[in-house]
Copies of this chain bind each other. A is one copy, B any other.
Amino acid sequence: MPDAPASLLDTWRGTVLPQWVDYNGHLNDAYYMVVFSQATDALMAMIGLDEAGRKATGHSIYTLEAHINYLQEVKQDAAIVVRTQVLGSDAKRLQIYQAMHRADDDTLLAANEQMLLNVDTTAGPRAAPFAPTVLARVQMLTVAHKSLPQPKHAGRRIALPG
């Protein structure tokens, strides 16, 4: 693998499907997470945990926590992209930020922070350190993304104003 670039990863491109919208023709709040989940699958592939990698290592990634900010309504058939930033990692965890943008004018539509956990699926499943080749990629991305600005919608706690 070449050096990881200090730029967000392109992890999803597509359009808002008819089965994802509500009675108003807007992306339903639950289906933002379907898109983000597929973006997480793409990130897994980038660190070596696609289907072949999962089989070879016996490992997979579980989502422990997710925090979504819904910023704009999104209409059916809208073209959207998701870009992913690695915020941090340790021996078995990966903290990421996913930004959903409108493809044409780059408007930020939603933001999702996630804590992911590496698990050994052959043993329970239970939490396990990343396999060495996976860890190398996780660390490379973590270092590369350290120079990126901290996203406004990460690290938030839900609270009423004031």
Contact = CB atoms under 8 A, between A and B. Distances in A.
Nearest to A23: B51
Interface stretch (A1-9, A76-84, A131-139, A151-159): A151-159
Interface in A86-134: 88-90, 93, 95, 113-115, 121
A65 B68 contact: yes
A62 B67 contact: no
Contacts of A70: 62-66
A155 B158 contact: yes
A130 to B, nearest CB: 14
A115 B65 contact: no
A160 B65 CA distance: 11
B160 A93 contact: yes
A37 interface: yes
A12 interface: no
A158 B30 contact: no
A156 B155 contact: no
Given A65-B70, A66-B67, A67-B65, A90 B160 contact: yes
A60 to B, nearest CB: 8
A95 B37 contact: no
Given A30-B36, A30-B37, A37-B30, A158 B69 contact: no
